[in-house]
Chain A
Amino acid sequence: MKRVQFGHSPVPYLFVAPQIIIIAIFFLWPAAQAVHQSFLLEDAFGMSSQFVWFRNFNDVLSSPSWLKSAGFTVVFSSLVAVLSIAISLFLAVRADEVIRGAKVYKTLLMWGYAVAPPVAGLLGIMLFNPLMGDLYILFNKMGLDFNHIQNGNDATFVVVLIAVWKQVSVNFIFFLSGLQGIPKSVTEAATLDCKSAGRRFWTITFPLLAPTTFFLMVINLTYAFFETFGIIDVSTKGAPGGSTATLVYKVYVDGFLGADMGGSSAQSVLLMIMVSVLTVFQFRFIERKIHY
């Protein structure tokens, strides 16, 4: 906080009011509603409901489809985070070294940030269209027996590929600015000491980028959890048999398409807890980074 501040007056309340009012109506109220509903069991017509304690949570946590979705979410998120970070770090290191055309490459690799996830989903799934998708045809010509419509692993491959494609640009931007923040004197000294670019990278550059990498890990996990909704909804819709449905996608399917309010709210509350843990983790880390 500031050393010098305005004294007591009603003015600050006027300034925070708009944000607080919007938060109260569109955040606190729905969040409370979700918690409340997660303890209720509605009858089939939604006419009456009954307080059932933790039964909805119990049902969710013991349902095979939720566990399957949780398992998929973990695999999917880790694959997306690790692959997109690895690819963009690789590209950023090269883009940082290059002298001629550096600006052009930077532009060509960063614009993907602006593409909406469902757009990415549509582009990707078209390439895997069984009738005319180039990648679908190519994979089958190579004798891979690729079929993402029936095979869960193949479908996972498709959504991971699309999600990684969409995320590379963000990671690239962060890594490139991280690399450009490393003082030239450090890189020059390293070049004198060590001819091997690979060793230089692992002993000097990578440790210096570790905070960025860790931060991106959290960002990418959050992305894979939430923002991939659009990708999945346009590409596989969780098929085949829920094998590519993330937890967020499942909340939507159960709550809106299946109208199971109690179950969907319990799932929401579980997700809230998971995300809160992730965010607190992220914030503690950022605070720590500032003290360096």
Chain B
Amino acid sequence: MYQSKWRSLTNHIILILGSLFMIMPVWIAFASSTHTREFLFQNGLQFMPGGHFFDNYGKILFDQSATKGRVTALQMLFNSMVLGLGFAIGKVIISMMAAYAIVYFRFRLAMPLFWVIFATLLLPLEVRIVPSYEVVAKLGLLNSYTGLILPLIASATGTFFFRQFYRSVPDELLEAARLDGAGPWRFFIDILVPLSVTMIAAIFIIMFVVGWNQYLWPLLMTTDDQLYTIVIGIKQVYNSLYEGGQIPQFPKAFALTIMASIPPVLVVVIFQRMFIRGLVETEK
């Protein structure tokens, strides 16, 4: 394609500026997280890393007194991992099964159940947080992984994704399988699941990131420090920044921020192709 030198040059300049716009805040946070708090307090945010990387990160990862609560960042990372994986696995399994029933079976309640599932798309958790909290409290699930994960799974995004995909699977497959005497379980396990592997991977990546990044629900659910996710930990540290008349703990807050971002960002960058495919095809 014809392209003038000038156009190509401006393209690069614009893209570099755009990339800097995205990266600068994170870079500043990283550089600032490797200085002592006294240094930051006197000299402001830093653009160049300092010499306290291992010191600051080590303390926050392993020393309970470094965070405000009695929980290490390592524990918070573990909790986030449980939430991210639990959310992704639960969502994939449940929505694959529900979509299978809806697409491949003729049954009386198919339509009403489909509409119930559809209705969950209308009302995100955010608009029903107070009653959801009460329900989970009544069930005695506050401060538990179950209470953290299950209510988040109650939405139909995944189901719609798999429904779409199953509908694109050729009908001949089912005909052939039935001629060979395969029942519903066999067809699902031996044919449909293997066919869906790339789809499963794509949706799994997106759901892991979405689960890891949950904020409002874990914030309400967890009053026990031991169950804080790393994203919640950031808020706790940030809230206590100015407590006690000491020099604010900016490096600590930044270190937590960096640690909270590394796992989901790595997942998205490493599995970029699958991730983009999943995102664009589900249309959220």
Q: Does B88 contact A (CB under 8 A)?
A: no
A177–B171 CA distance with the chains assembled, in angstroms: 29
Q: Does A239 contact B (CB under 8 A)?
A: no
A interface residues, how many (CB within 8 angstroms) = 100
- Contact across chains for B101 and A126 when beta carbons are under 8 A apart: no
Nearest Cβ in chain A — how far from B108, in angstroms?
Answer: 8
- Contact across chains for A272 and B22 when beta carbons are under 8 A apart: no
Chain A interface, DSSP helix/strand/loop, else mixed: helix
- Contact across chains for A261 and B123 when beta carbons are under 8 A apart: no
Q: Which residues of B contact A111 (CB under 8 A)?
A: 22, 265, 268-269
Q: Which residues of B contact A15 (CB under 8 A)?
A: 97-98, 100-101, 105
Which B residues from 229 to 252 make CB contacts under 8 A with A?
A: 231, 234-235, 238, 248, 250
Q: Does A70 contact B (CB under 8 A)?
A: no
- Contact across chains for B264 and A114 when beta carbons are under 8 A apart: yes
Contact of A94 among B11, B100, B103, B127 (CB under 8 A): B11
- Contact across chains for A18 and B15 when beta carbons are under 8 A apart: no
Tell whether A119 pairs with B261 under 8 Å between CB atoms, given A107-B269, A188-B1.
Answer: yes
- Contact across chains for A132 and B8 when beta carbons are under 8 A apart: no
Q: Which residues of A contact B267 (CB under 8 A)?
A: 114
Q: Does A244 contact B (CB under 8 A)?
A: no
Q: Which residues of A contact B45 (CB under 8 A)?
A: 126-127, 132-134
- Digit string of A104-121 for contact with B (CB within 8 Å is 1, else 0)? 011111111111111110
A162–B183 CA distance with the chains assembled, in angstroms: 53
- Digit string of B186-216 for contact with A (CB within 8 Å is 1, else 0)? 0000000000000000000000010011011
- Digit string of B16-30 for contact with A (CB within 8 Å is 1, else 0)? 001101110110110
- Contact across chains for A34 and B107 when beta carbons are under 8 A apart: no
Q: Which residues of B contact A54 (CB under 8 A)?
A: none
A174–B279 CA distance with the chains assembled, in angstroms: 8
Q: Which residues of A contact B280 (CB under 8 A)?
A: 173-174, 177
Contact of B234 among A29, A119, A133, A174 (CB under 8 A): A119
Q: Which residues of B contact A101 (CB under 8 A)?
A: 12, 15
Q: Does A206 contact B (CB under 8 A)?
A: no
Identity of the chain B residue whose Cβ is nearest the Cβ of A231 in the assembled complex: B215
- Contact across chains for B94 and A30 when beta carbons are under 8 A apart: no
- Contact across chains for B14 and A94 when beta carbons are under 8 A apart: yes
A81–B215 CA distance with the chains assembled, in angstroms: 22
B residues neighboring A (CB under 8 Å): 1-3, 7-8, 10-12, 14-15, 18-19, 21-23, 25-26, 28-29, 40-41, 44-45, 93-95, 97-98, 100-107, 109-110, 113, 116-117, 119-124, 126-136, 139, 150-151, 153-156, 159, 167, 171, 174-175, 178, 184-185, 209, 212-213, 215-216, 219-220, 231, 234-235, 238, 248, 250, 253-254, 257, 260-261, 264-265, 267-269, 272, 276, 279-280, 283-284
**14 more A-B contacts (CB under 8 A) besides A115-B26, A251-B129?**
A8-B106, A8-B107, A11-B105, A15-B100, A20-B116, A22-B153, A87-B18, A98-B11, A99-B8, A111-B22, A126-B45, A131-B41, A134-B44, A265-B130
